[in-house]
Structure 1
Amino acid sequence: MNEEPQLNLSWISQDAGASENVSRAASSLIPVVDPGPELMVNPWDIVLCTSGTLISCENAIVVLIIFHNPSLRAPMFLLIGSLALADLLAGLGLVINFIFAYLLQSDSAKLVTVGLIVASFSASICSLLAITIDRYLSLYYALTYNSERTVTFTYVMLIVLWGASICLGLLPVTGWNCLKDESTCSIIKPLTKNNVAVMSVSFLLMFGLMLQLYVQICKIVMRHAHQIALQHHFLATSHYVTTRKGVSTLAIILGTFAACWMPFTLYSLIADYTYPSIYTYATLVPATYNSIINPVIYAFRNQEIQKSLWMICCGCVPASVSQRAKSPSDV
């Protein structure tokens, strides 16, 4: 990932023997010009570091809000907090990776930073899946979902997803890397091609499960809206608008997730370390944007988090925010 751009100097050696005498004769007539400074920092690494900084700042705000407000302890907010924490660690991992790549160039540092990035992004994607499961269950078991059993199930999901993510992050450190055999390297050194392929396939499976759950959520929402509209004909238009808005929100969630992660996932399945690094950067950078968008979709649009944010910032809650908090969410 930290491959520095190299200058292609192969053309200098072409026809060297034929022009050797001519160059010697003309050398006294050509002024000596010092070569320009080499590019010390890869611009793509700067982009990733900038993304990591923005990710860290955004998600740190969400983590502080949820930690600061004791009322935000429902299963939904615990999962949003897990997502924000995972994205926060991912952003810090990108920044640390940039610092270590140019200030502390060692295999040990590379293994640790790559492990942190893998673990945090894995936890982020798993948290998105857990939020989807939570939304589905809250609609399917609408009357009994806020029981103690639900809270226990949420904690179990958090333990499982963070445990699996930490295990994935420890793989490079515990020897599952390509430092000893470069031919097994993937597009992200020092991860092996097999490890990246397994993670990519797992991502595709999780995306398929999220898609199926959101389809079921849409069916439940539309069925409930239709039943309410039949009982209260004067509310039919309002429920139609609400349902359409909810379905569009789900489409934005899935569309954003797929647009950010699918290019990198598909590319990692077909490419290896011999491919030009620019393709890796071009697919990896959009994947990091998902962690920038997550706080906007899952946290800052939530009315309770908005109220807490206003209370922390200025000690008051605008009337518009307070009014929206009294109405149910779209999905």
Structure 2
Amino acid sequence: MDLINITSGKNYTKVTEFVLLGLGNLHEFNLVLFIVFLIIFIFTITGNLLIIVLVSITPALQIPMYYLLSHLSFSDLLVSTNILPNILGSLLPGKEIVTFCGCIVQFYFFSATTVTECFLLSIMSYDRYLAICNPLRYSSIMNMMFCVKLSIWPWLLSFTSNLVVVLPVSNFDFCADNVIDHFYCDLYPLQKLSCSDTYSVELEVFVFSLPIFIFPCGFITVTYIYIFHTILSILSTTGKQKAFSTCSSHLLVVGLFYGTLIAKYMIPSKGHSLIINKIASLLHTVFTPLFNPIIYSLRNQEIRTAFQKTLEIITFN
């Protein structure tokens, strides 16, 4: 920390680094938790990388649905590599310290990847809507060129629009306390520690959140209303099951993503609710990136087949 003199003549301590408390006072379980989260980290990285590689090298998977899935996996990789190392570090002896710049960068990448996933899941729901509700025109509308263009926009929009929130946060003044009661740098703990007036930033976040979270969520809801209506109108049971199987994995991922996101930001992080907020954050940042590849790989015959063929090629070579 640096001692700064203000024009009023008073001195205050400027925070240049933060101490992350991590998961809380669970010191007697640190070794067990470290092993658990290390295994989760390895499986998350392996699972998402596997989907990206399989989509890249398997011709049968080079279609819009799986191309968008590879983008979702890449986003999950960014979330995991951004958050999990802090959790692992907080479980080791000593303090988990992050610099002021490192904290802002972590917050920027976390919020940007969250926004990216909101848009990606919306595009994936549109892809499923076309495939089920308008199958005759699917190939002409959702061709690979159009899909590539669609997939670029979430990254551009999220990493540029997020500066609206991140830049004001980077200008916060942190006067004395530098202990963050969390396992990563998020908006609420930074607001709580800041000695600046954060009302304007809270207002910006609220206005920013409406189009970023509400509109994609509403769009996904509307597309699935049409999808379910179309599925129910199919006469044969086999046809219904086949149609539902093409969107069930995506629906599970959407439910997991928005469920944890709503729990994280709708429950106030005060008093005992901070524990609930940490649990919701843990589900959102750690378990969602882990479960996404599992959901798609276990429920998708084409991905399982591509994985088996790749294993056979590696084994015989």
TM-score (norm 2): 0.68
In the superposition, relative to structure 1, how do residues 281 and 199 fare at CA in structure 2: closer, same or farther (>3 Å)? farther
Q: Which residue of 2 aligns with 1:114?
A: 107
Kindly provide the CA deviation profile for residues 118-157 of structure 1, in whole angstroms up to 9, marking residues without a partner as x: 2222222321111101111223331232237633321222
Greater shift in the superposed pair: 246-255 or 93-102: 246-255
SS at match of 2:111: helix
Distance 1:51 1:114, change over 3 A: farther
Aligned residues: 272
Of all paired residues, the percent bearing the same amino acid is: 19
Secondary structure of the residue aligned to 2:110 is helix
Q: How does 1:136-155 map to 2 (within 5 A)?
A: 136-147=129-140, 150-155=143-148
Task: Output the CA distance in 2 between the equivalents of 1:43 and 1:213.
Answer: 43
Helix, strand or coil: the match of 1:179? Answer: coil
Q: Is the 8 A contact 2:75 2:116 kept in 1?
A: yes
In 2, the alpha carbon distance for the partners of 1:70 and 1:245 equals 21
Q: CA deviation at 1:198?
A: 4.5
Cα deviation for residue 276 of structure 1 reads: 6.5
The within-5 A match list for 1:91-110 is: 91-98=80-87, 102=95, 105-110=98-103
Structure number with bigger Rg: 1
Equivalent residue runs for 1:164-203 within 5 Å: 164-170=157-163, 174-177=167-170, 179-180=172-173, 186-189=187-190, 192-194=201-203, 196-198=205-207, 200-201=209-210, 202-203=212-213
TM-score, structure 1 normalization: 0.66
The corresponding residue for 1:309 is 307
What is the CA-CA distance between 1:200 and the residue it aligns to?
4.6
Question: In 1, Cα distance between the equivalents of 2:204 and 2:32?
Answer: 27
Looking at structure 2, the residues matched to 78 and 240 of structure 1 have their Cα atoms a distance apart, in angstroms, of 25
Supply the distance in 2 between the matched residues of 1:63 and 1:207 (Cα, whole angstroms). 25
C-alpha separation between the residues in 1 aligned to 2:219 and 2:209?
14
Which of 280, 291, 303 matches 1:283?
Answer: 280
Give the distance between the partners of 1:305 and 1:256, measured in 2 at CA. 21
| Cα distance, 1:4 vs structure 2 | 5.8
Say what the alpha-carbon RMSD is for the aligned residues.
Answer: 4.0
Q: Post-superposition shift, 1:50?
A: 6.4
- Deviation digits for residues 8-30 of structure 1, max 9, x if unmatched? xxxxxxxxxxxxxxxxxxxxxxx
Q: Give 5+ residue unaligned stretches, structure 2.
A: 1-18, 176-185, 193-200
User: What code does the residue aligned with 1:92 have?
Assistant: T
- Choose from 281, 294, 297 the match for 2:295: 297
SS at match of 2:143: helix
| Cα distance, 1:5–1:259 mapped onto 2, change above 3 Å | closer
In the alignment, is the contact (CA less than 8 A) between 1:4 and 1:42 conserved in 2? Answer: no
Q: CA-to-partner distance for each residue in 1:46-92, whole Å, 9 max, x for gaps?
A: 98776555432321111121123244321111101111111111111
Separation of aligned partners in 1, 2:161 and 2:223? 25
Q: What is the aligned counterpart of 2:225 among 215, 224, 231?
A: 215
Unmatched 5+ stretches in structure 1: 8-37, 227-235, 317-331
Q: Which amino acid aligns with 2:306?
A: S
The whole-number CA distance in structure 1 between the counterparts of 2:248 and 2:52 is 27
CA distance in 2 between counterparts of 1:279 and 1:158 reads 33
Match of 2:51 in 1: 62
Partner of 1:326: none
> In proportion to residue count, which structure has more strand?
2
Shift in Å at residue 195 of structure 1?
5.3
Question: Within 1, Cα distance between the matches of 2:36 and 2:273?
Answer: 18
Q: Is the 8 A contact 2:64 2:142 kept in 1?
A: no
- The amino acid of 1:263's aligned partner reads A
Hey, what does 2:259 align to over in structure 1? 259
Q: What SS does the corresponding residue of 2:62 show, helix, strand or coil? A: coil
Q: Give the Cα separation in 1 of the matches to 2:32 and 2:262.
A: 23
Report if aligned partners of 2:249, 2:299 keep a CA contact under 8 Å in 1: no
Larger RCO (alpha carbons 8 Å, 6+ apart)? 2
Picking from 20, 31, 43, the partner of 1:2 is 20
Q: Secondary structure at the match of 1:143?
A: helix
Q: Matches of 2:23 and 2:292 in 1, distance apart?
A: 32
Instruction: Decide whether the 8 Å contact of 1:2 with 1:45 is kept in 2.
Output: no
Q: Matches of 2:88 and 2:301 in 1, distance apart?
A: 37
